[in-house]
Amino acid sequence: MTQPGNKQLTIRKRINDTAANLTRRGFLASSAAACALNVFPTGSFASIRDLSSTDPKTDAEGNMIRPFHVNFPQADLIDLRRHVAATRWLNRETVSGPLQGVQLATMQKLANYWAKEYDWRKVEARLNALPQFITAIDGIDIHFIHVRSKHPNALPVVITHGWPGSIIEQLKVIAPLADPTAYGGKTEDAFDVVVPSLPGHGFSGKPDTTGWDPVRIASMWIVLMKRLGYTRFVAQGGDWGNAVTEQMALLSSSELIGIHTNLPATVPADIAKALQFGEPAPRGLSVEERGAWDQLDFFYKHGLGYAQEMAARPQTLYALEDSPVGLAAWMLDHDARSERLIARVFDGEAEGLTRDDILENVTLYWLTKTAVSSARLYWESKLPFFAPKGVPIPVAVSVFPDEIYAAPKSWTENAYPKLIYYNRLQKGGHFAAWQQPELFATELREAFRTLR
């Protein structure tokens, strides 16, 4: 494989080495602002929150925003290793390659590293170096990271993860977005960065009623940004993050001035119908369109199993809450290209992700016991995932080649009447911010430049 150049290595080192300094500055700025405030001790995560002596404070409307600290008991980490070591292994797949699913060799390498070498405390320290908060919206606790840039006139952006992602996906891009001058950008490229955890995911609360779909979450994110004092902001998302972000745009909030997506919803109705019923590709497709068709055709035939089960019977997935290796395998099998990349990582190849990256994300799901609560988002949503929604505000699209499908420019222009930016990248996949943080940060700078 091609190794990254010296410039890329330097940028990646800066992302890891300077994030703490940036986030401490952001924390002080956030704390000095009107909303920043105390630890929230209620709910199922009380035992992992480091309770602060700071008195509760509220914003002008009486809404509390409380600092949050991650500290899982050591007993939980010991129990995790015990579960991994006690895995009942399957017999080896009967075909070569991943045709039947995630291969036994990959999972055994993952489990061996997880049980013997992986250190959760490292990512816990990285999270705690960031200003994290909890606030209640629509009756549920929402966890979020909030980093204010040191640069004046920074553009606020709320970035939403998907499944099987989490806030772990965005950790590498927070510093480049908030402090662009340290990462090849300009002062005027700066963002104030807000990264919330979806309901039922990570450190956010778990809904105990129905109705928590992307439309409802979108309205919550608008409330969150207003509560933080922002009267003008943009939004970004891929996967479920795109669904939420597009719904934010459809709510016609005057504060939201534009969105960016790395998994746009652009598939025309005739294409969607043909895919759904297993029909041949329509005639007259361009080279780009045919490439997108082939990717989608493969996904519809071979990649939808997890989504269909979670959309139909999420409560059946008890095994994901009982076996960490079972949970990891389920998450790795999200899409074929990501699975192949992750398999190569555990074979010792570095391709934008590390073994720690992958296990940080899976371990977060395990420790927060959110495997099933996160899966219910598939059951809740009734939106046609890839269909255009008629977004009425400016839209920017970055197309990564190893995404579930690489949206053609023709489909994208038809789906988004106010398309302000479109770019096809040479590398990167479904977890773009996680895999290619430098490219992702550059894309956001370019995408929103005309809206500043």
pLDDT digits (tens, 9 = 90+) for 137-152: 999 999 999 999 999 9
Quick one: DSSP state of residue 182?
G
Residue 52 has pLDDT above 70, yes or no: no
Question: 357-378 as b/e, with b when 16 or more CB fall inside 10 Å?
Answer: bbbbbbbbbbbbebbbbbbbbb
Q: Catalytic annotation on 119?
A: no
pLDDT, tens digit (0-9, with 9 covering 90-100), for 354-403? 999 999 999 999 999 999 999 999 999 999 999 999 999 999 999 999 99
Tell whether the model's pLDDT for residue 21 goes beyond 50. no
pLDDT beyond 50 at 6: no
Please say if 69 is a catalytic residue. no
The tokens describing 223, both together, are: 């409330």
Annotation says 239 is catalytic: yes
pLDDT of 257-290, one tens digit each?
999 999 999 999 999 999 999 999 999 999 999 9
- pTM for the whole structure: 0.88
Does domain 6-73+122-266+392-451 bear CATH number 3.30.70.380? no
pLDDT at 9: 40
Whether 16 has a pLDDT exceeding 60, the answer reads no
How crowded is residue 32: how many other Cβ atoms within 10 Å of its Cβ?
9
Round the average pLDDT of the chain to a whole number and report it.
Answer: 89
Sign of CA dihedral 373, 245, 175, 26: negative
pLDDT at 314 over 80: yes
Catalytic residue among 118, 306, 365, 378: 378
Q: In this model, does residue 421 exceed pLDDT 60?
A: yes
Could you tell me the two tokens for 392?
């009425």
Work out the pLDDT band at 59, boundaries 50, 70, 90: confident
pLDDT at 285: 97
Kindly tell me if the per-residue pLDDT of 17 is higher than 90.
no
Q: Is the pLDDT of residue 26 over 70?
A: no
Catalytic residue (choose from 83, 143, 146, 430) = 430
Q: What is the pLDDT of residue 20?
A: 39
Report the amino acid identity of residue 164: P
Q: Is the pLDDT of residue 15 over 60?
A: no
Look at residue 100 and tell me whether its pLDDT is greater than 90: yes
Among candidate residues 192, 213, 239, 333, the one labeled active-site is: 239
Question: Is a pLDDT exceeding 80 seen at residue 341?
Answer: yes
Instruction: Give pLDDT, residue 57.
Output: 57
Do residues 378 and 314 lie in contact, with contact meaning Cβ atoms separated by under 8 Å? yes
CATH 3.40.50.1820-classified regions of the chain: 6-73+122-266+392-451
Evaluate if residue 319 carries a pLDDT over 70: yes
Tens digit of pLDDT for each residue in 210-249? 999 999 999 999 999 999 999 999 999 999 999 999 999 9
Percent of the chain exceeding pLDDT 70 equals 87
What is the C-alpha radius of gyration for the chain, rounded to an integer number of angstroms? 21
